[in-house]
Structure 1
Amino acid sequence: MANFIPPQGLAQALVPWGTQKAQRPLVDLLVLGFLAGAYIGFAAHLATVVGTGDFAWLGMKKLAVGAVFSLGLMLVIIPGSELWTGNTLMSVSLLQRQISWKDMMRNWLLVYIGNLAGSLFLAWMIAGQTGILDGPIGVSAVKIAVAKVSQPVADSSHNLAYFFRAVGCNWLVCLAILLAMAAQDIGGKILGIFFPIMAFVASGFEHAIANMYFIPAGIFARQWPNVQAMIEPDPTVMASLNWSSMWIDNLLVVTLGNLVGGSIFVGGLYWLVYIRRADH
């Protein structure tokens, strides 16, 4: 007997999975969305800590950061919560006509709001209240945030680049979710999550919910006196780091790319091959 779910069975399992998510009560979606945003925030903070300082080889630094960031999706899937990027796989239930557009958009909107609230809360708590970021880690947080919003929205090449980085990201995130669903034990779920998430972070791809932590963390961290003393002052660059640029120069285009990566390149194509064609 196989100790994992094969591809066709996995694709078919997404139909009731998405249907169940569409039926969750409003409060549950907001609370579980809040938790998922916080879980991704914990992983993002850990990645910031691990990425602070010099590494002998750039590739090894990216590998280490990606490895620890995989904790976020493990916390989302195994204890259970609602992550918007993963819920883009609800497109399978929609294509199979088990849920309506309204059902899917309700889930996506509530979970996205919950993810944002959880990410913002954790960024405020860790970056703004604990003092942990009053030093080199805070400098790293500011530099990460600035890098994510430093190009103006008018730069179409910036938007296109971030869109495709986001497509690649959620393509891998949703594959990680499929691997975790396929595994029948917790060890298999951890391994299934680890490699795709490590790969997307090490590759430099963009995740909307992670950026809901990374950018606010940089905004909160720059208040600390040691951060202000250590970071090289550049009024033009620092002015680009604000709540408006978080949306205009990053989250809007990254959210769209994540949506395409998960709902089309994973959910849509697996539905086409393993469900629609199997029914004809």
Structure 2
Amino acid sequence: MSYVKPQDVVTQMIDTGEKKLFLSTRDTLIRSFMGGAILALAAAMAVTISTNTGNPLLGAAFFPIGFIMLYLMGFDLLTGVFTLVPFAVIARRPGATWGGMWRNWGLVFCGNFAGAFTVAVLMAITFTYGFSTPPDEIGEALGTIGEGRTVGYADHGAAGMLTLFVRGVLCNWMVSTGVVAFLMSKDTISKVVVMWMPVFLFFYLGFEHSVVNMFLFPSGLLLGGDFTVVDYLVWNELPTVLGNLVGGLTFVGLPLYLTHHRTGPERLRPIPAGPDTAGARAADRTATPVG
């Protein structure tokens, strides 16, 4: 059968996290570079569709293509390793350490950013004919996104920062659900369907994804958006990374791990009423305790 039971999915989560934890620096950087680049291309496609059609729903519907492609090819996103890698340590796999986890997260962050930024430069070239003309309509839309989701939050002060963080939490709740859903099925078509749904939801609702933002905001800066690198880092990227971390661990990884891997003891089953009830209870009273 294509469906994988939750208990087996959690075991796969731990196994996958362990493999990523011990992956070489070279392979980790290559896989995360390509993951960031493909997701950035998907974001560019979604913005293009939304701008050309005036319908954000269509852009959100097609965005998951990039997410699905990169996972089918075995590439990595920061949001995914946030959810998978810690459980190799929590499950006490041999050699798995918290230091190794931080190393993996740092390498994936750098690789994702390099891949997304590369695509941002390439797409900025296409939107401006090699920076020889002003940005086209899509380029202007990217600049507007960058402004609204940096200084737009800053205008609200602490309330804006809280909103940004919560949108990061909600984002990786959905994205990590898609990552785990990848492990829930064995055939490609099933993987595509179950990954598509939560990623479509996060994108249409406008939640904050740290890797997508590694493309959107550098693109906005390259295309003349009215915000700064500091605005991008303080009022988007860093709080989004923290929110993504909390969302993936708190609402996806830990619940699955605690209820399907380290399950609590079952409650005692009541003895059904019937003619043999008295005999069963008498046997319970005379039985020799074990241990």
Q: TM-score range by the shorter chain?
A: 0.7 to 0.9
Tell me which amino acid in the other structure corresponds to 1:80: G
Deviation digits for residues 68-110 of structure 1 (CA, Å, limit 9, x no counterpart): 1102211220011111100112222222122210111111000
Contact 1:153 1:159 in 2 (8 A): no
Tell me which amino acid in the other structure corresponds to 1:64: L
Tell me which amino acid in the other structure corresponds to 2:228: N
Q: Which residue number corresponds to residue 131 of structure 1?
A: 128
SS at match of 2:73: helix
The offset of 1:31, in angstroms, is 1.2
Contact 1:166 1:207 in 2 (8 A): yes
Q: Which runs of 5+ in 2 are unaligned?
A: 267-291
**Out of 79, 100, 104, which is 1:103 matched to?**
100
Q: Which residue number corresponds to residue 189 of structure 1?
A: 191
Give matches, 1:1-280, under 5 Å. Answer: 2-53=1-52, 55=54, 61-89=55-83, 90-98=85-93, 99-128=96-125, 131=128, 134-150=135-151, 151-152=153-154, 155-222=157-224, 239=226, 241-277=227-263
Which structure has more RCO (C-alpha within 8 Å, separation ≥ 6)?
A: 1
Identify if the C-alpha distance between structure 1 residues 106 and 153 changes in structure 2 by more than 3 Å, giving closer, same or farther. farther
Higher helix share goes to which structure?
A: 1
Contact 1:95 1:271 in 2 (8 A): no
How many correspondences in the alignment?
A: 258
Identify if the C-alpha distance between structure 1 residues 279 and 35 changes in structure 2 by more than 3 Å, giving closer, same or farther. farther
Normalised by the length of structure 2, the TM-score is 0.84
- Considering only aligned residues, what root-mean-square deviation do their CA atoms show, in Å? 1.9
The offset of 1:279, in angstroms, is 8.5
Q: Which runs of 5+ in 1 are unaligned?
A: 56-60, 223-237
Tell me which amino acid in the other structure corresponds to 1:25: S
Contact 1:12 1:274 in 2 (8 A): no
Normalised by the length of structure 1, the TM-score is 0.87
Q: In terms of Rg, which structure is larger?
A: 2
SS at match of 2:261: helix
The offset of 1:247, in angstroms, is 0.4
Identify if the C-alpha distance between structure 1 residues 214 and 73 changes in structure 2 by more than 3 Å, giving closer, same or farther. same
Which whole-Å CA distance do the structure 2 matches of 1:154 and 1:27 have between them? 42
Any runs of at least 4 consecutive aligned residues in structure 1 with deviations exceeding 6 A, and if so which? none
Contact 1:91 1:268 in 2 (8 A): no
Tell me which amino acid in the other structure corresponds to 1:62: P
Deviation digits for residues 158-192 of structure 1 (CA, Å, limit 9, x no counterpart): 11101111111001111111111111111111111
The offset of 1:257, in angstroms, is 0.2
Contact 2:10 2:261 in 1 (8 A): yes
Which whole-Å CA distance do the structure 2 matches of 1:260 and 1:72 have between them? 24
Which whole-Å CA distance do the structure 2 matches of 1:86 and 1:141 have between them? 25
The offset of 1:53, in angstroms, is 4.4
The share of aligned pairs that are identical, in percent, is: 28
SS at match of 1:80: coil
Which whole-Å CA distance do the structure 2 matches of 1:93 and 1:218 have between them? 38
